[in-house]
């Protein structure tokens, strides 16, 4: 499917599913060609308000439908996502510039997350008894209610996966959603949303808007009872501040400058092959991709040589099949940012070991996978996120120095340890300041572990998606405790005088029995 055929067959149909009332549009560019993919309608703040009101109305019946109904709907959507895999892959590639294989990772993740929350929502959110302060005298239960309307703000780089990872648990918990899609990822989101609508999710329950980031993003934050944001740290801080002004909860997955440690007991060639994918998947336009490699001096020459050789063997192109290893950057802004970081590093003394230049012969936003050495703190790419196909390799003397270097960052999203000893790698992983740490993998081990929480430390964000934590953020915990009437709790000084001894004896007994 070409960019033009995608436009002719799907774009006009899909964009009508956006919430918009005006006539303003913006051109969305196809990364592989630089041609206009389609004209995307722009929503207004009033459109967001209308969508939010309709979503709230639909949420009443959706919540009342219960877990069993929601489970059936989501499992049907899971099947439709897989049935429409090829169409979704075409749209993803055409809209993002990534390879077929890396687009498939999104579909795989979306289906996995959908199945997980369809099956697990009821067990995670069911009412449970909790131990009372005074057993037998008091009973306590904790139940969960959906927060209501969830605002989801997603970026362009992983439009389907990052959308589903927030939207589906919100729906599974009984909420409604208003989602602001990045313009460059709107078609992918709308195409995947269609599977859920056809599976039985009410159309107005999950509204999608697009438009100016400040106007529409702020409107979504203001309308929501809880906000999920994925994007840059600077914008995430602004979102968090705006939400906090009304005490609206947030989860924020923000930037990263992710480190990979290569210990001295690896097989260099295998470690290099695995590391290359962790750096250049989706052209490095992935919040958890690796941008810093610290390799032990005893294996540094062998690892670096193998790494560079592997990079130079990568097949780069725009095919809508599995014949390429790396694709294109998504926009001119991305290409210019990458070029600026490389030029700055070289000007200040870094060495290019591979890549380092744009490839206009392949397409307007193509850039070679680039490997640098000799990167110093004076260079832009040393501490700032490049978010592109650039990695810096540095040599360290031992794991202590490697750990210190990996942790010397304001970010703490993802990290990786490569070692011939899993026990050793686990010990090192425990010392890394990151929300996710992968052993002998770059990011996919943790990213695909849907039952485990994912999120950042330090400037990489707040809150967690995935796992029970990923759905609990969309529910309000409510405690209901009751007196059994077996004993009347003291109300007067005289009653306290009578019962204090019994209450102290109860405390001592509970301690002796090692009861909580």
Outline which parts of the chain fall under CATH 3.40.605.10: 44-254+467-475
Q: Which of 95, 106, 287, 385 is catalytic?
A: 287
Per DSSP, what are the bridge partners of residue 476? Answer: 145
Among residues 150, 191, 151, the alpha carbon closest in space to that of 18 is found at: 191
Q: CA neighbours within 13 Å on the CB side: how many for 211?
A: 25
Work out the average pLDDT over 202-228.
97
Q: 136: burial class by Cβ within 10 Å (0-12, 13-18, 19+)? A: exposed
Q: Say if residue 515's pLDDT is above 90.
A: no
105 is catalytic: no
Q: Say how far apart CA 384 and CA 308 lie, in whole Å.
A: 23
What pLDDT digit, counting tens, does each position of 436-460 carry? 999 999 999 999 999 999 999 999 9
Among residues 471, 475, 473, the alpha carbon closest in space to that of 114 is found at: 471
One-character DSSP codes across 194-212: HHHHHHT--GGGEEEE-S-
Q: Are 230 and 153 in contact (CB under 8 A)?
A: yes
Q: Are 150 and 170 in contact (CB under 8 A)?
A: yes
Q: Which of 253, 291, 368, 441 is catalytic?
A: 253
What pLDDT digit, counting tens, does each position of 227-250 carry? 999 999 999 999 999 999 999 999
Name the superfamily (CATH) of residues 258-457. Answer: Aldehyde Dehydrogenase; Chain A, domain 2 (3.40.309.10)
Q: Say if residue 323's pLDDT is above 60.
A: yes
Q: Are 178 and 48 in contact (CB under 8 A)?
A: yes
Kindly provide the b/e burial profile for residues 113-123, where b requires at least 16 CB atoms within 10 angstroms of the residue's own CB: bbbbbbebbee
pLDDT-derived band at 153 (thresholds 50, 70, 90) equals: very high
Question: What pLDDT is stored for residue 5 in this prediction?
Answer: 53
Q: Say how far apart CA 495 and CA 137 lie, in whole Å.
A: 16
Question: What pLDDT is stored for residue 1 in this prediction?
Answer: 45
253 is catalytic: yes
Structure letter (DSSP) for residue 489: P
Outline which parts of the chain fall under CATH 3.40.309.10: 258-457
Q: Are 397 and 244 in contact (CB under 8 A)?
A: no
Question: What pLDDT is stored for residue 508 in this prediction?
Answer: 93
Q: Say if residue 335's pLDDT is above 50.
A: yes
Three-state DSSP at 354 gives strand
Lowest pLDDT segment from 210-214, 330-334, 365-369, 415-419: 210-214
Q: Are 171 and 113 in contact (CB under 8 A)?
A: no
What pLDDT digit, counting tens, does each position of 34-73 carry? 999 999 999 999 999 999 999 999 999 999 999 999 999 9
Q: Say how far apart CA 318 and CA 328 lie, in whole Å.
A: 7
Work out the average pLDDT over 335-347.
98
Q: Say how far apart CA 70 and CA 176 lie, in whole Å.
A: 12
Q: What number of residues does the chain have?
A: 516
Q: Say how far apart CA 35 and CA 47 lie, in whole Å.
A: 29
Mean pLDDT over the full length of the chain: 96
- pTM (2 decimals)? 0.96
Q: Say how far apart CA 69 and CA 97 lie, in whole Å.
A: 37
Name the superfamily (CATH) of residues 44-254+467-475. Answer: Aldehyde Dehydrogenase; Chain A, domain 1 (3.40.605.10)
What pLDDT digit, counting tens, does each position of 164-199 carry? 999 999 999 999 999 999 999 999 999 999 999 999
Q: Say how far apart CA 284 and CA 385 lie, in whole Å.
A: 10
Beta 138-146 vs 128-130: how paired, if at all?
Answer: antiparallel
Work out the average pLDDT over 344-351.
98
Q: Say how far apart CA 88 and CA 93 lie, in whole Å.
A: 9
Q: Say how far apart CA 486 and CA 448 lie, in whole Å.
A: 50
What pLDDT digit, counting tens, does each position of 367-426 carry? 999 999 999 999 999 999 999 999 999 999 999 999 999 999 999 999 999 999 999 999
Question: What pLDDT is stored for residue 11 in this prediction?
Answer: 81
Kindly provide the b/e burial profile for residues 411-438, where b requires at least 16 CB atoms within 10 angstroms of the residue's own CB: bbbbbbbbbeeeeebeebbeebbbbbbb
Q: What percent of the chain has pLDDT over 90?
A: 94
Question: What pLDDT is stored for residue 76 in this prediction?
Answer: 98
Q: Say how far apart CA 200 and CA 211 lie, in whole Å.
A: 27
Q: Are 209 and 216 in contact (CB under 8 A)?
A: yes
Q: Say if residue 4's pLDDT is above 70.
A: no
Q: At 27, list the tokens.
A: 């051109």
Structure letter (DSSP) for residue 349: T
Question: What pLDDT is stored for residue 8 in this prediction?
Answer: 59
């Amino acid at each position: 499917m070409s960019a033009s055929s995608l436009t002719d067959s799907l774009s006009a149909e899909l964009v009508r599913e956006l919430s918009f009332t005006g006539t303003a549009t913006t051109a969305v560019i196809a990364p592989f060609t630089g041609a206009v993919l389609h004209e995307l309608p722009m929503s207004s703040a009033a459109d967001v308000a209308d969508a939010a009101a309709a979503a709230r109305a639909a949420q009443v019946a959706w919540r009342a439908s219960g877990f069993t109904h929601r489970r059936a709907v989501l499992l049907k959507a899971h099947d439709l996502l897989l049935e429409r895999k090829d169409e979704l892959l075409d749209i993803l590639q055409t809209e993002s510039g990534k390879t077929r294989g890396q687009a498939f990772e999104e579909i795989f993740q979306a289906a996995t997350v959908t199945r997980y929350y369809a099956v697990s929502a009821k067990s995670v959110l069911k009412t449970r008894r909790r131990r009372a302060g005074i057993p037998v005298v008091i009973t306590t239960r904790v139940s969960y209610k959906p927060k209501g309307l969830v605002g989801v703000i997603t970026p362009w780089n992983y439009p389907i996966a990052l959308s589903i990872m927030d939207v589906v648990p919100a729906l599974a918990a009984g909420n409604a959603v208003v989602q602001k899609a990045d313009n460059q990822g709107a078609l992918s989101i709308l195409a995947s949303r269609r599977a859920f609508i056809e599976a039985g999710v009410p159309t107005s329950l999950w509204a999608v808007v697009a438009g100016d980031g400040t106007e529409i993003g702020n409107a979504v934050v203001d309308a929501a009872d809880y906000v999920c944001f994925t994007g840059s740290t600077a914008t995430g801080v602004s979102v968090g501040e705006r939400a906090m002004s009304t005490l609206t909860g947030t989860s924020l997955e923000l930037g990263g400058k992710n480190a990979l440690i290569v210990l001295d007991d690896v097989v260099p060639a295998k470690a290099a092959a695995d590391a290359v994918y962790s750096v250049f998947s989706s052209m490095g336009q992935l919040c958890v991709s690796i941008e810093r490699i610290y390799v032990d001096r005893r294996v540094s020459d062998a690892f670096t040589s193998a790494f560079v050789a592997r990079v130079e063997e990568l097949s780069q192109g725009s095919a809508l099949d599995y014949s390429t290893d790396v694709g294109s950057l998504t926009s001119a802004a991305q290409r210019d940012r990458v070029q600026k970081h490389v030029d700055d590093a070289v000007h200040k003394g870094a060495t290019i070991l591979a890549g380092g230049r744009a490839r206009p012969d392949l397409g307007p936003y193509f850039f070679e996978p680039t490997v640098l050495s000799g990167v110093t703190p004076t260079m832009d790419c040393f501490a700032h996120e490049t978010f592109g196909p650039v990695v810096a390799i540095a040599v360290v003397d031992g794991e202590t120095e490697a750990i210190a270097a990996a942790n010397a960052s304001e970010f703490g999203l993802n990290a990786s340890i490569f070692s011939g000893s899993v026990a050793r790698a686990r010990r090192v992983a425990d010392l890394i300041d990151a929300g996710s740490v992968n052993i002998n993998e770059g990011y996919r081990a943790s990213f695909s572990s849907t039952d485990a929480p994912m999120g950042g430390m330090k400037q990489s964000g707040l809150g967690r998606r995935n796992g029970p934590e990923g759905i609990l953020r969309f529910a309000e915990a409510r405690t209901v405790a009751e007196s059994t009437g077996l004993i009347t709790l003291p109300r007067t000084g005289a009653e306290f005088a009578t019962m204090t001894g019994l209450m102290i004896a109860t405390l001592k007994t509970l301690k002796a029995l090692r009861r909580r």
